[in-house]
Amino acid sequence: MPLLYVTDLAYPARGRRYGDEDTFLTARLREHFPLALCHPLDAERLMPGFDAVIVRNSGPVLHYQEAYDSFRAAALAAGTRVYNPLTGRGDMAGKQYLLDLTAAGYPVIPTIDDPARLAELPQVPSYAVKPKQGADSIGLTFTARPSGPAGEILIQPRIDFAYEVSFYFVDDAFQYALYAPDPDRRWELVPYEPTGADLEFARSFIEWNTLRHGIQRVDACRAPSGELLLVELEDLNPYLSLDLVPPAVRDAFVTSLAGSLHSFLT
């Protein structure tokens, strides 16, 4: 079952090395599947020659939105199997989920998309404002007086959090967690040992997303009150920081990923 592995090996990600991670993963996945690599701009044209497409470190879709939308439509029309499946409700579908989860009472940083609704948020000295279709902090600003077109921006209270932590899953199975002890150095990550409550928090979003197969990363921050709040549910192409985990954890992740792919393809 040949796989088309979509990646942008040269994408200049700050604090991350996309190319190194995907070189490692493809070398290991070749032990289980024949595969070929391609740039995201070539995925639609090449995918008919493969049994499935696996989207990995392809960079923010915002940079090639038209090509991605066309690829997605073509894959759905042809019934092409895409991993992660295109039914994700997190970042894959945009940032609407932050509004939906806020409305549903989930532990998420409170989010609105209309400055006229500012009274619904906690009153704080500064608010984070970013484009609703943004990624990688593109267009992020902090202001005491949020403004912008309703429905096109996201507004959140700026939280003086203790640290950020990420939980990594394959299907519904937890793999490992990493955190940034210094909030000002968010890509300087080290292994994190989650508590039972931490895992319950992370799993609640995996269950909400209802993806049977795929790689997901739950990003959270530790609020001043001590609780975790969701920052992002990345279900399209989450960077995994595999170079920062012990070899045994890395090997276990690859085994889980290969097993998930086998199950997905059969």
Sign of CA dihedral 112, 115, 117, 123: positive
CA distances from 32 to 1, 52, 152, 208, 258 (A): 9, 14, 43, 30, 7
Sign of CA dihedral 5, 11, 13, 17: positive
Q: Decide if pLDDT at 110 tops 70.
A: yes
How wide is the angle at C-alpha 154 spanned by C-alphas 56 and 144, nearest 5°?
130
Condensed to tens digits (0 to 9), the pLDDT of residues 207-245 reads 999 999 999 999 999 998 899 999 999 999 999 999 999
Distance CA 146, CA 155 (A): 7
> How far does CA 232 lie from the centroid of its chain?
7
How wide is the angle at C-alpha 150 spanned by C-alphas 146 and 154, nearest 5°?
55
CB 165 within 8 A of CB 220: yes
At 14, is the pLDDT very low, low, confident or very high (cuts 50, 70, 90)? confident
> How far does CA 178 lie from the centroid of its chain?
14
Distance CA 14, CA 31 (A): 30
Q: What is the pTM of this model?
A: 0.94
Q: Which residues contact 25 (CB under 8 A, 6 or more apart)?
A: 56, 242, 254, 257
CB atoms within 10 A of CB 86: 19
Distance CA 183, CA 231 (A): 13
At 27, is the pLDDT very low, low, confident or very high (cuts 50, 70, 90)? very high
Instruction: Determine the pLDDT at residue 44.
Output: 97
Of the candidates 20, 1, 13, 7, the one whose C-alpha atom is nearest the C-alpha of residue 250 is 20
Q: Decide if pLDDT at 134 tops 80.
A: no
Among 25-29, 148-152, 201-205, 249-253, which stretch is predicted with the lowest mean pLDDT? 148-152
Distance CA 27, CA 34 (A): 10
At 133, is the pLDDT very low, low, confident or very high (cuts 50, 70, 90)? confident
Instruction: Determine the pLDDT at residue 193.
Output: 97
